[in-house]
Homo-oligomer: A and B are copies of this chain.
Amino acid sequence: MKTKDKIIQVSLRLFNEKGERSITTNHIADEMGISPGLLYYHFTNKEAIIRAIFEQYTDYITQSIVPPDEHSDAEEFLRQYCEQIFDSIWRFRFLHANMPILLEKDNELICQYLQTHKYLEERASEALHWLIEHDLIQIDEAQIAILVDLMRLVTGFWVGFSMINQKRQRLTRKQVSQGIIHLIALLEPYGTAQGERLFASLKEPYLKRA
């Protein structure tokens, strides 16, 4: 692995494990056994590393959260959609834990964030239309934009919400995936009879693990 990629990988691990605020570029260089000078050759500061991690997050999102295929099985598609959203949240959880503050410090990162945000909104809107076409939910066109906002609120702030609720102790993967129940709960009341059965079946494994 190239030094540059290794710096990104090690930084992501340290930020996730110990919180971004307590990790300096010196800690990262130390952990890798390289000189701070070599690190600065690749990244001028910590913000540049965070932007590079955010690019990886965006790549991960755009590769894993894709529009439904016309042949997709509804349950399979929704399960994948939920799992992959919360998997991306788990892998990049330090970003989700501190998004407002990371964005306050860095205008370039805001532009990256809004692009990814837009991509996720489009996929969410598509998924809702697909559920309507497949007679799984019934919802007015006017309500869709608000429901998409709510989906973005739940997925974007689930880590912050959970961390505060448990006094900022480190989160487990299971706790992060509990957000899936809340995401499904947004759709559930719009479910047709067929949709209701589908949502109940989707939620089941997460309720068992709750």
Which chain A residues numbered 105 to 124 have a C-beta less than 8 Å away from chain B? Answer: 107, 110, 113-114, 117
- Min Cβ gap A55→B in Å is 18
Q: What per-residue 1/0 map shows which CB atoms of A85-107 lie under 8 Å from chain B?
A: 00000000000011111011001
Asked whether B21 lies within 8 Å of A163 as measured between CB atoms, the reply is: no
Asked whether A185 lies within 8 Å of B101 as measured between CB atoms, the reply is: no
Task: List the number of copies, as a whole number.
Answer: 2
Closest to A203 in B: B146
Determine chain A's interface SS by DSSP, over half rule: helix
A–B complex contacts, Cβ < 8 Å, 21 sampled: A21-B104, A99-B164, A100-B100, A100-B101, A100-B163, A101-B101, A104-B168, A110-B168, A114-B165, A117-B164, A117-B165, A143-B185, A147-B185, A150-B154, A150-B185, A153-B154, A153-B158, A153-B161, A153-B182, A157-B157, A157-B161
